[in-house]
Amino acid sequence: MKTNSLALLAILLSFVLFTKPSLQKSNSPNPRLYNAFLALQAWKHAITNDPKSFTSNWHGYDVCNYTGIYCAPAPDNPHLTTVAGIDLNHATISGSLPEELGLLTDLALFHINSNRFKGNLPYSFRNLRLLYELDISNNLFSGEFPPVLLCLPSIKYLDIRFNDFQGKVPPELFDLKLDALFINNNKFRSALPKNIGNSTVSVLVLANNNLQGCLATGIGKMAKTLNEIILMNSGLGGCLPDEIGLLTKLTVFDVSFNSLVGSLPKSMGNMKSLEQLNVAHNKLSGQIPESICKLPRLENFTYSDNYFCGEPGSCLKLDDKDDSRNCIPYRPKQRPAEECRDFYSRPVDCSAFGCLPSSSPPPPSPHHYYNP
């Protein structure tokens, strides 16, 4: 029976990181492997230090036997071998990425995390029309957000975290059909794009940047796909929108170490899949809705270092919670009463960061909790 070529290609690509097909046995020339030879030789010359000798066998035309290079049948011709994946993770290699890497037009996977590559991504990466996964995390890349990343039609997994990228995060990034996006631990400094809700990701990590602004109400549009969102220490302000409660598939929600104000939306009680909730180190206030602490899968709820004035008993029954440094009567390790009175003497302003006013009612004044 004749094997379906597309099914065979899918199987081979799924094992591309575990198998290394040799060069095709035919004596006919293979232009794709020759282009790969040119690209990899140019890259080897752009490497300034290879302490673990990952590229020590990068010589000769048999590129499929190079360390970290993985070959497979070409998607458009199963009888033609091509370079489909590169994995140099944790090699501690120093150097840069040359323009010749754009010759690897069949590349599906490009993983070089935990190295010391610097510079920016070559614009020739626009030729990598089949690139599905790109992981350049934990390197020394710098400059503006690489614009070529917006030109990759097949990209689904994008990881550029732990680099020195700076400037604005382009709104077009959230229009890509991605499954996972990690841009955390860079030096991006711009308002969080209002079209964030257009994203199709299941995992979104923007932490440890200076994105400023507010969490847009459009976040609710991600309800069908979003499983984890981590916005820790990202410069957020204003109030959390009620639309948060639409994220019923969300398992992890972390907005700790920001400048959020107002109360927790009661709609968060609809987030039935939530397991980890961290809102610590903000300026949130008011009563914690009981529906949140009764979420069926909630394992960890951290709301320390805020100005909450009340918590239901169901919160105290959680195995893993932290309510310290709030304004909750009769609980240990709370803020001084004078500090709480001073905080509640000022109205909550959701628009201080240019945000729309929250549709949630303002937190109640807890003056009766404290003796003047």
pLDDT value, residue 255: 98
Q: Give which of 310, 367, 305 is closest to 342, Cα–Cα.
A: 367
Q: Are residues 80 and 149 in the same domain?
A: yes
Q: Give which of 308, 307, 312 is closest to 294, Cα–Cα.
A: 312
CA–CA dist 305, 180 (Å, integer): 30
Average pLDDT, consecutive stretches of 10 residues, N- to C-terminus, the chain (372 residues): 40 42 51 97 98 97 97 95 98 98 98 98 97 98 97 98 97 97 96 92 97 88 97 94 96 97 96 98 97 96 98 93 96 97 91 60 47 36
Q: Are residues 155 and 189 in the same domain?
A: no
φ and ψ of 337, to 5 deg: -60, -35
Q: Give which of 162, 185, 158 is closest to 172, Cα–Cα.
A: 158
Q: Last residue of some domain: 118, 135, 167?
A: 167
Q: Are residues 192 and 308 in the same domain?
A: yes
Give the number of domains in the chain: 2
pLDDT value, residue 354: 66
Q: Are residues 177 and 149 in the same domain?
A: no
Q: Are residues 194 and 134 in the same domain?
A: no
Instruction: Give the list of residues 6+ apart from residue 322 with CB closer than 8 angstroms, or none.
Output: 280, 301, 302, 303, 304
pLDDT value, residue 11: 37
pLDDT value, residue 338: 97
pLDDT value, residue 49: 98
Residue-range definition of the domain harbouring residue 149: 1-167
pLDDT value, residue 367: 47
Q: Are residues 59 and 194 in the same domain?
A: no
Element (DSSP H or E) covering residue 118: strand 116-119
Q: Last residue of some domain: 152, 167, 182?
A: 167
pLDDT value, residue 351: 77
Q: Are residues 330 and 242 in the same domain?
A: yes
CA–CA dist 58, 64 (Å, integer): 10
pLDDT value, residue 353: 67
